[in-house]
Amino acid sequence: MTAATGSAGPFQITVQPSGRAFSADGGEAILAAAIRQGVGMPYGCKDGACGSCKCKKLEGTVVHGPHQSKALSEEEEAKGLILTCCAVPQSDVVLESRQVTDESAFPVRKMPSRVSSLEKVSHDVMIVKLQLPANDTMRYHAGQYIEFILRDGARRSYSMANAPHNGPGVELHIRHMPGGKFTDHVFTAMKEKEILRVEGPFGSFFLREDSDKPMILLASGTGFAPVKALIEHMQSKGIQRPATLYWGGRRPGDLYMDAWVRERLIDLPQLKYVPVVSNALPEDNWTGRTGFVHKAVMEDYPDLSGHQVYACGAPIVVDSARADYSAHCGLPPEEFFADSFTSEADKH
């Protein structure tokens, strides 16, 4: 968790309009303090790279640790916006964030996991299923993620692709990033029964069930993983809200669970599916939608003022959707929920 040098503390952090309050120790980032105390604030990468935790500072002083300018520009900072993942309070602070959940977040815990199965579903996607301790089941919201803790202390984040009721283990969709020490291992050396240390759950990407607005589910590549968990959750809970899934890939093979989605359509009449391919080749014989997946949504829904959007995948897709849907389609910014898949390369 990114942090900066702070004053003595502890300091009180108050979040409006909910009035939720918690304390941050000296030198502790606001988000770290919130997670530690079970306060559900919006966030994604925890590394100053994605901007999901950005919110308005109403009162008080903070110092930011290292972060990317695309997550928080100098202009935004001058207007009082902060990134809670790397903002360390220097005084009591009052924030404005409308995405704070009323219920407490599930506790974050470390535990061992065992690889129960490996299935390569495309040239660069592996479905890895993990078995968790039978007496120590992790509780999480569909859409959240876990982190692998590697031997050198480095961490890698992956979303659970199954809703918690479809346990007891978890399913992850891992894309091969050639040269990446973890994904190279997954694709070349990982074996069933291998033991891996994990921590979770993390993230604020989950279904807001206090709304009955129709939903756009936007996924690029393996960003489908947490969206799959949301669909399972909808089916399990009997949620009848209309939802349209837009899943984008470069080639048709990148939509690696297309058949699974089409099976769900039979059981979920409120779910629609629009696959979108950006770089189909003639031999693909692709007759469906083409172009950028976030643009396909805008073509079909020029007015998003009455919708919620759940977007997950490559940062360029999530960032473009966030900006364009608010600027051109009337989507209220607080109705855009996202999980931006920042790789290690994206963080530097």
Would you kindly state where each structural domain of the chain is located, as residue ranges? Answer: 11-96, 109-202, 215-347
**pLDDT class of 1 with cuts at 50, 70, 90:** very low
How distant is the alpha carbon of residue 165 from its chain centre? 19
pLDDT in tens, 295-338: 999 999 999 999 999 999 999 999 999 999 999 999 999 899 99
Residue 102 predicted with pLDDT over 70? no
Residue 76 structure tokens: 């935004």
Residue 346 predicted with pLDDT over 70? no
Q: What is the pLDDT of residue 124?
A: 97
Answer for the pair 67, 2: CB distance below 8 angstroms, yes or no: yes
Within a 10 A sphere around the Cβ of 91, how many other Cβ atoms?
12
pLDDT in tens, 275-303: 999 999 999 999 999 999 999 999 999 99
Residue 23 CB partners (closer than 8 Å, separation 6+): 9, 10, 11, 12, 13, 33, 37
In CATH, what is the architecture of 109-202?
Answer: Beta Barrel (2.40)
Residue 3 predicted with pLDDT over 80? no
Residue 167 predicted with pLDDT over 90? no
Q: What is the arithmetic mean of pLDDT over 264-272?
A: 97
Rg (CA), the chain: 20
Cross-strand pairs, 39:
none
How distant is the alpha carbon of residue 182 from its chain centre? 19
Q: What secondary structure does DSSP assign to 4-63, as a single string?
A: ----S--EEEEEETTTEEEEE-TT--HHHHHHHTT-----SSSSSSS-TTEEEEEES-EE
Q: What is the arithmetic mean of pLDDT over 3-11?
A: 66
Q: What is the arithmetic mean of pLDDT over 196-213?
A: 92
Terminal-residue alpha carbon distance, the chain: 15
Entry pTM = 0.84
Answer for the pair 145, 341: CB distance below 8 angstroms, yes or no: no
DSSP 107: P
Answer for the pair 181, 25: CB distance below 8 angstroms, yes or no: no
> What is the distance between the alpha carbons of residues 311 and 225, in angstroms, rounded to a whole number?
11
Reply yes or no: is the peptide bond before residue 168 cis, omega within 30 of 0.
yes
Answer for the pair 127, 228: CB distance below 8 angstroms, yes or no: no
Q: What is the pLDDT of residue 18?
A: 81
Provide the sign of the torsion angle of the four alpha carbons 262, 308, 248, 181, taken in this order.
negative
Q: Is 274 in a helix, a strand, or coil?
A: strand
Q: What is the dihedral of CA 87, 91, 96, 97, to 10 degrees?
A: 40
What mean pLDDT value characterizes the chain?
91
Q: Which fold has domain 11-96?
A: Ubiquitin-like (UB roll) (3.10.20)
In CATH, what is the architecture of 215-347?
Answer: 3-Layer(aba) Sandwich (3.40)
Q: What is the pLDDT of residue 100?
A: 66
